[in-house]
Amino acid sequence: MKSVEFAQMIRIKCLELSHRKKTSHLGGSFSIADVLAVLYSYVLKYDSQHTQLEIRDRLFYSKGHACMALYAALEGVGFYSDLEEKFTLDGEYFTSHINHNVPGVELSTGSLGHALSVAVGVSLASKKKNQVWRTFTIVSDGELDEGSNWEAILLAPHLKLDNMVLIVDYNKIQSFGMTNEVLNLEPLNSKFVAFNWNVFEVDGHDHFKLKNCFDNILLNGKPTVIIAHTVKGKGVSFMEHKLEWHYKSPSTEQFDQALKELKS
């Protein structure tokens, strides 16, 4: 699938940015790269030349710390071509938490647990205006510790927002420990079922299965959550499942090794 190549391109760009700019959050950028690649390859309606196009789907990227993956995806589909030059540069909007002043970014995030409520408001507006465009919100797993998310998770089905899709990047590692040890989310699937959501649970690195989920979203008066089981640091052997890659940027040797693995 072409999206597989796109995902690897996103990872390589993230690797280069993290190495050159000494920025963090490579692990969470790698875990979400496949979801972003599938979304931008097959699912989202967008026009990179008309960022405010009324009928576009709105993507809300709540895990704003993993900004490199979204910046790279947006560059990959043509929203801009100067990411490497401007990323974290003094005076540029490419901050290391996602920034709405960058073309294609709907909302600045970085403080966790904010975007889902905003997405509910935007989805409600779409319904009120009888529009067909949808919202897609990507949250991290650790982020679900934030109570504000659960306020929004309670409200979305109450408002029958079936134009709303939530993707959980469930890579099982948060800032300072494993999610099941810091604050266990399980049983996550049945929590969403109990909150009246349509629930898909999928390998978040299997493009075919991800696409299949997005193709089969029901319009039954309920919002949909896709629990994407992912691997933090996915794609580079020595980064996978490692908490330290929430923080570290690769040395030259690590960069060379990682690049070799991503290109193989």
Partner 1 sequence: MRNAFAKDLVDLARIDKSIFLITGDLGFSVLEPFATEFPDRFLNIGIAEQNMTGVAAGLAKEGYTVFTYSIGNFPTLRCMEQIRYDVCYHNLNVKIIAVGAGYAYGPLGVSHHTTEDLGMLRTIPNLTVASPSDPFEVSAITKMFVETNGPCYMRLNKTGESKLHGSVPDLSGNEPLKLCAGTEKLVLGTGAIVQEAIKVAKEKGWELWSFPIVSPMGKKWITDDLLRFKEIISIEEHQLNSGFGSAVLEVINDVYFSRKLTKYPNIRRVGIPNIFLGFSGSQEYLRNKAQLSLLL
Positions touching partner 1 (CB under 8 A) are 100, 106-108, 111, 113-126, 128-129, 147-148, 151-152, 154-155
Report, in Å, the least distance between residue 194 CB and partner 1: 17
Closest CA to 157 of 132, 130, 188, 124: 124
b (16+ CB within 10 A) / e for 155-190: bbbeeebbbbbbbbbbbbbbeeeebeeeeebeebee
By C-beta, is 52 or 237 nearer to partner 1? 52
Q: Are 165 and 156 in contact (CB under 8 A)?
A: no
**Nearer Cβ to partner 1, position 36 or 122?**
122
Pair of tokens at residue 116: 């889902």
Going by the DSSP 8-state scheme, the letter that residue 43 receives in this structure is I
Q: How far is the CB of 100 from partner 1 (least distance, A)?
A: 6
Is the CB of 106 or the CB of 169 nearer to partner 1? 106
Instruction: State residue 128 phi and psi, 5-degree precision.
Output: -60, -35
Shortest Å distance, C-beta 260 to partner 1: 40
Length of the chain: 264
User: Measured from the CB of residue 99, what is the shortest distance to partner 1 in angstroms?
Assistant: 10
Q: How far is the CB of 117 from partner 1 (least distance, A)?
A: 2
